[in-house]
Structure 1
Amino acid sequence: MIEWRTAADWSSQGLPDLPTSKVGLIDRAKREGWKSQKRQGRGGGLEYHYSSLPDRARAAYLLRHRKPAASAAPTEIPQDEAWASFDQLSQTLKDKAAFRLKVLTAVEALVDGGVGRVSAVEMVAADAEVSPATVRRWVRMVKGVERRNWLPALAPRHVGKTDRAECDPRAWDWYLGQYLTRRGPSHADTYRRLEEIAAIEGWVIPSAKTLERRVETDIDPLSVVLMREGMEALARRLPKQRRDETVFAAGEAVNGDGLKFDKLWVEFPDGEILNTATAWFFQDLRTRRILAWRLGKTENTDLFRLATYDLTGVCAPTVMYIDNTRVAANKLMTAGAENRRRFKKGDHDGVGLLIALGIEPRFTNPDKETGNPGAKPIERAFGIGGLHDKVATHPSLIDRGYSKATAIPYEELRAVIEHEVARHNAQTKRRTTACRGILSFDQAWEEATASITFRRFSERQRRLLLMVREVVSVSQTGEIAINAGRGAHAKNRYWTEASAALAGRKVVAHFDPENLHAGIHVYSLDGRYLFEADHMTSTAFNDTEKGREWNKNRARMIKAAKKQAEATTRMSKLEREELYGKAVRARAEEAGDPPAAPASSVVAAHFRQMPDPARDAEQPKVAPGVIDFAAMAARQRPSELAEDDDEQAEFMRRALAGVRARNGLPPAE
């Protein structure tokens, strides 16, 4: 606002009670002694201060040039009860408070400019089209309140009608218990049943509309959804997390899942007709392009394994997102992976095929209550209008496959799926981050792979995916037996010379389930390749030629083992004995002990003393009262004591047998 103006400027402002000519204004200024100063710059003359203007002119000038009112909400809102209550008001009441603040701000601006408060209130009230009494009431509302807290203080304090219709607590409890159930009864039906009970029990109840509104205002909406619709519906009401898949390069991360074509009956090459045909698809996370797929009778581990084999022909991903299901989280493919919550973990699980190939499996939760089955991008390719519907509504299949009689041949279904996958990848204007609403999945893949070099698997690595894996124990003979293809009484056995060194240890056998006679590849439990073992075929019982060949090979292996043993023990027995004896004598000399006499090499036999009557007669007699066991042993037989069953008889038998043995007598009959 400009505080100093010339007489010409003031007269041209159109303010009340001011002359409209320059001369008239100068005369009045001289007559009333207005505050003036010399004008700076060219022209000279005097300038007059606005405070010298008449009251009405000064008020009008201040109102015209006052500063805009402060924002309805201050920069820093104090967290007190006044502002908390203000935040709960409707926008209409907040606008009324803002208008009152604007009026009071204008009054204070006039007062600060030198206008009397009474005149300021009257002029602002007239400008705002409200009565001065109303403005004075607003002034009283902010008395003693800090200027920054005027807005909540000026808010209307009336809250409208707050009376609640009377309702018996038992009636309210019954109404909630009936309405908040998974059967989902309507408000109208619940209220009619409540009326029937209230008529008998004498309950006071409000109108049906009142109870319906009370449920909406008093009960948390999420609680209503949970109790009436369940956990799945509640999960749909919660916000979804948005993830950016462009953190991966093309081909670096994939996600996969199985799709069951349950709308179609399919005739497989073996003649079986099923409506469980399932395809496993792999999709690139960044570009959303479907990279590989495999069709089978049902969703199983072999289908997942072979689809992974097809995928490795396109790229070598480092991360794979799959569901934590029995099919995907099996030990064959994912043993050794962290966070695998399927099957019991053991110390001898070994390493799964994905881990062996350097692909990290990351498991998602397909449970509809605790997880989000639609979290993987591949789920969007299967949904409404996706591959499932496109295949079923293909022109060549649209009138077939709805029964066993109209079953679709397997090869024809496979060709249709291949065609629809190509159409799916080629559709333009995809609304994804990589496609930007312009490109197709194919174009996004080509754009993303133009400047990168893929990690590739060798054919030797890929062949692992054509084989099944079993953790088995090596027998003491070095044989490795697997459960696959076993009969009622025997298993397929494999052996090689190197397997004998692993007797009793657990190993991982990889084999082709389609050709069990082709041998197996053996790995350690930590994934190191060991050797290849050949299949051991059974031989006819009377095949002598096979027997001779077997014995020849056995003799050759024994001879080789002997040579190996001889090469292992290169020092002779005499050399070992001589060195040991030398060491013993040296220790004895250091200790000062006389050397031990060499052991006699004479073999002494045990000779029994021959009986001599003369010598025996000179033997001392047995004292009276002492049992002569020797005499008893010579004349008494154990059979004579056989009928005595007490402990004393048993003791006597053993004692007599010992005496006869020490005296060289034969055992008693």
Structure 2
Amino acid sequence: MKEWFTLAELLALNLPDLPTSERSLYRHAQDHWNGVAGCVQLRQGKTRPVVEYHVSLLPASAQWRLRQQPDGASWEEARARKNLLWSVFNRLPKGTKDVCEARLKVLVRVEQLVREAGLSRLAAIGVATHDAGIQKSAYYEWRKATEGLDPEDWLPALVPSSPAVNGIVPQMAECHPDAWDFLKSDYLRPEKPGFSACYRRLLEAAAIEGWSPIPSERSLRRRMEAEVPKAIQVVTREGRERAKTLYPSQRRNRTCFHAMEAVNMDGHQLDLFIRVPHREKPIRMYLVGIQDLYSNKILSWRLDEAETWEVVRLVVGDMVESFGIPEDMYIDNGRAFASKKISGGAKTRYRFKVRPEDPEGLLVALKIKPHFVLPKSGQSKPIERAWGDFAEDISKHPVCAGAYTGKKPTEKPDNYMRTAIDIEDLKRLIAHQVAEHNARTGRKTQIAKGRSFDAVFEESMQQPTTIVRRASEAQRFLWLLASETIKTHKGSGAVHFAGNRYWSRELNQHMGDQVTIRFDPDDLHGSIKVYDLKNRFICDAACIADTGFKDQDEGRVHARGRAEFDKATRAAAAAEQRFNQNQLAAILRKGQRDLQKAEPVHPKVTRIFTGKLAPEAVPVPAEDFEQGFSKAMARVAGASVHAFPRGDKAGK
């Protein structure tokens, strides 16, 4: 064991009964150690002499700690072993800890008899084991398990069937590495096989591959629980959705809002068979609703056979007409909510192909910012929790007895499909339950604090700082009418839709353009409202009905309408043309002036031409010309002339 120590080394060892700060330890050495002869020495360090102190100056407890420290091991390693011992002990059940405490009492009783009663160690062991009712061999086994450990670390070393080796309690029996990997791979599968079946397959594989050793099933089961985290077992055996519950859910603070500042919207399929007039068999329907995020109040709802953009449009319209226009709306990216007719034009809409000519959706037109969140998430859409209440209050209501389907096919009630509830009765029930849901007191939310959702909503709406936008009469057409994007006719600008033609004089300005039409699905023979892609109103286009081929009256009416249109167009054109062609020409002639002939412009510096000039033509004498002409005429006169054939035979 090392005998000489510096103050820095003693401070790092953190020995008992010694000061723990550098200044206190230095002062202690000045007061008690520096005057002891033979116990203080100077040793040359790297840059200056260093004072060292002999181990005999240390308190008895500190000397004992140094003697217990393993040779060649640092104090950090010893501390790591101590932490490992206690971490294992803390995970043990209470019954095992009680056994360890009973064994520790025997060891402590022996030390007390030796130190206080003056008995020999052998006699003390005999007395302590006799009083505890155990064999002496058990004492020697426990004492061996605590050998080399501090007395305060004896308790975790006395774990049953876990002898300490160098201060570390072994966890499990030894197993062949390949066998252990085989067992984990077999057990951690989505099929969730039983551990016993996996162990039997392990024994079969070990016999084939020659793996050894293979511990018992209980030992490997304990090792599986100790070494493989619970989260990994849940992910591999129960799926990712179940694993999400291992992480604490997020709690969002909604006190930053006021009533009608932010809402969330979702749909829920009711667990009911519903009787509707246009269907022979009962069907299941969706309840689509909007909830205020500040107060949790249900603002509007509708029933439909599916989550479509039409029902979403109507639910948004009900909310806007009754309470106003919110600033933000939290929805999932389902086909109905992320439809171009609802959220088209939103920058964060990640569904369907986005084109520049896409029209603005209902939310964008109303200046409502959509936020797309995770589906089936109560943290993202609190209305999911309201659906859980309605599943109990509506689907299991006595009025719906016999029409309840059960949450899953495996949970069908005995009276499954015994009857169905009429849709009108269901609407009255939903209206009553929604009103009761909003008016129920005793709510324990962070904002309600025992009040009802209605009371929280009304209180916030009465605050002077609550500003809610209201819709104008013109904006009502955005949700009262269905919309469709269509291309107008290139010739006249007419709109061809659903087998009908719609036209107005203003559409001539938009021939061949993409426009948005808004129409009443129940009255396609009425007029439609036409908007451009920026939702700017163009006109009301009336339906042009087809006429019979022999219908002369309709023909005359059509001709009269065309004549009136031509007359109005010509009048408008004449109004646009202020000057006729004669007036235009007169204005142009008035400004004309005779252009004088421009003088030729020569450069200031000229250069003499030095190249070859073209050869001049040589005149032909008159006598030579006459001789040549006579020779040509004689040559023509002497040539043979072919006679033109006569009759039906070729001339010879």
The alignment's TM-score, normalised by the length of structure 2, stands at 0.65
Q: For 1:169 and 1:365, how far apart are their aligned partners in 2?
A: 42
Q: Does structure 2 conserve the Cα–Cα contact (< 8 Å) formed by 1:141 and 1:154?
A: no
**Counterpart Cα distance in 1 of 2:535 and 2:428:** 38
Name the CA distance, whole Å, in 2 between partners of 1:447 and 1:363: 29
Q: SS of 2:323's equivalent?
A: coil
The corresponding residue for 1:170 is 178
Q: Residues 518 and 528 of structure 2 are in contact (CA less than 8 Å); yes or no, is this contact kept in structure 1?
A: yes
What's 2:447 paired with?
Answer: 434
Match of 1:87 in 2: none
Classify the secondary structure of the residue corresponding to 2:263: strand
1:423 equivalent to 2:436? Answer yes
Shift, 1:293, TM fit: 0.6
Q: In the aligned structure 2, how far is the partner of 1:584 from the partner of 1:118?
A: 127
In 1: Cα distance, 2:273 partner to 2:77 partner: 76
Percent of matched pairs sharing the same residue: 34
Distance 1:277 1:325 in 2: 17
Report the Cα offset of residue 109 of structure 1. 11
Residue number in structure 1 paired with 2:474: 460
Residue 564 of structure 2 is aligned to residue 556 of structure 1: yes
Look up the match of 1:517. 525
Q: Does 1:258 align with 2:185?
A: no
8 Å contact 2:477–2:518 — kept in the other structure? Answer: no
* Residue 447 of structure 1: aligned partner: 459
Q: 1:345 to 1:163 in 2, by over 3 A?
A: closer
Judged with a 3 Å threshold, the aligned counterparts in structure 2 of structure 1 residues 285 and 518 are, in CA distance, closer, same or farther, namely same
Cα distance per residue 1:550-583 (max 9 Å; x no partner)? 1111111111222222222222223434555677
Give 1:584 deviation, angstroms. 7.2
The match for 1:381 among 386, 389, 393 is 386
Q: Distance in 2 between matches of 1:532 and 1:573?
A: 37
Q: Please give the per-residue CA displacement for 1:468-527, whole angstroms capped at 9, x wherever unaligned.
A: 1111112134343354xx2xxxx2211111111111111111111121222111111112
Residue of 138, 160, 175 corresponding to 2:168:
160
The aligned counterpart of 1:90 is none
Between the aligned partners of 1:111 and 1:341, the Cα distance in structure 2 is 72
Query: What is the deviation of 1:268?
Result: 1.2
- Find 1:319's aligned residue among 328, 333, 340: 328
- Structure 2 Cα separation of the partners of residues 108 and 154 of structure 1: 27
User: Secondary structure at the residue paired with 1:181?
Assistant: coil
Q: State how far apart, in whole Å, the 1-side matches of 2:635 and 2:371 are.
A: 95
| 8 Å contact from structure 1 (residues 104, 139) kept in 2 | no
Q: Deviations over 1:213-256 (max 9, x none)?
A: 43344444433332222221222223333221221110111101
What's the TM-score, normalizing by structure 1? 0.64
Cα distance in 1 for residues equivalent to 2:598 and 2:247: 88
Give the aligned partner of residue 502 of structure 1.
Answer: 510
Q: Distance in 1 between matches of 2:598 and 2:451?
A: 94
2:380 and 2:553 mapped to 1: Cα distance? 64
Q: Provide Cα deviations, 1:158-177, integer angstroms capped at 9, x if missing partner.
A: 64234864322321221122
2:309 counterpart residue number: 301
Secondary structure at 2:400 match in 1: coil
Give 1:588-603 correspondences, 5 Å limit: 588-589=595-596
Answer whether contact 1:477 1:503 (CA < 8 A) is retained: yes
| Cα RMSD after superposing both structures | 3.8
Spell out, residue by residue over 1:251-292, the C-alpha distance to the aligned partner (whole angstroms, 9 max, x if none): 11110111111x211111334443321111110000101111
Question: CA separation in 1, counterparts of 2:597 and 2:349?
Answer: 65
- Deviation (angstroms), 1:101: 3.8
Work out whether residues 479 and 494 of structure 1, in 8 Å CA contact, stay in contact via their aligned partners in 2.
Answer: no
Contact 1:470 1:482 in 2 (8 A): no
Structure 2 letter corresponding to 1:430: R
- C-alpha contact 1:323 1:363 (8 A) present in aligned 2: yes
2:220 corresponds to: 211
Match of 1:13 in 2: none
Q: 1:253-402, aligned counterparts within 5 Å? A: 253-261=262-270, 263-312=271-320, 313-366=322-375, 372=377, 375-383=380-388, 386-400=389-403
Contact 2:81–2:167 (Cα < 8 Å) also in 1: no
Partner of residue 188 from structure 1, selected from 167, 172, 196: 196
Q: 1:209 to 1:479 in 2, by over 3 A?
A: same
> In the alignment, which of 484, 493, 498 is matched to residue 470 of structure 1?
484
Q: 1 CA distance for matches of 2:331 and 2:592?
A: 69
Work out whether residues 391 and 416 of structure 1, in 8 Å CA contact, stay in contact via their aligned partners in 2: yes
SS class of match (2:175): coil
Structure 1 residue runs without a partner (length 5+): 1-81, 84-96, 120-130, 143-148, 594-617, 625-630, 636-669
Separation of aligned partners in 1, 2:474 and 2:341? 18
2: CA distance, partners of 1:318 / 1:379: 21
Matched, 1:406 2:419: yes
> What amino acid is the match of 1:394?
H
Q: Distance in 2 between matches of 1:176 and 1:159?
A: 29
Cα distance in 1 for partners of 2:303, 2:357 equals 32
Sort the Cα spacing of 1:526 and 1:162 in 2 relative to 1 into closer, same or farther, 3 A: same
Deviates more, 1:265-274 or 1:252-261: 265-274
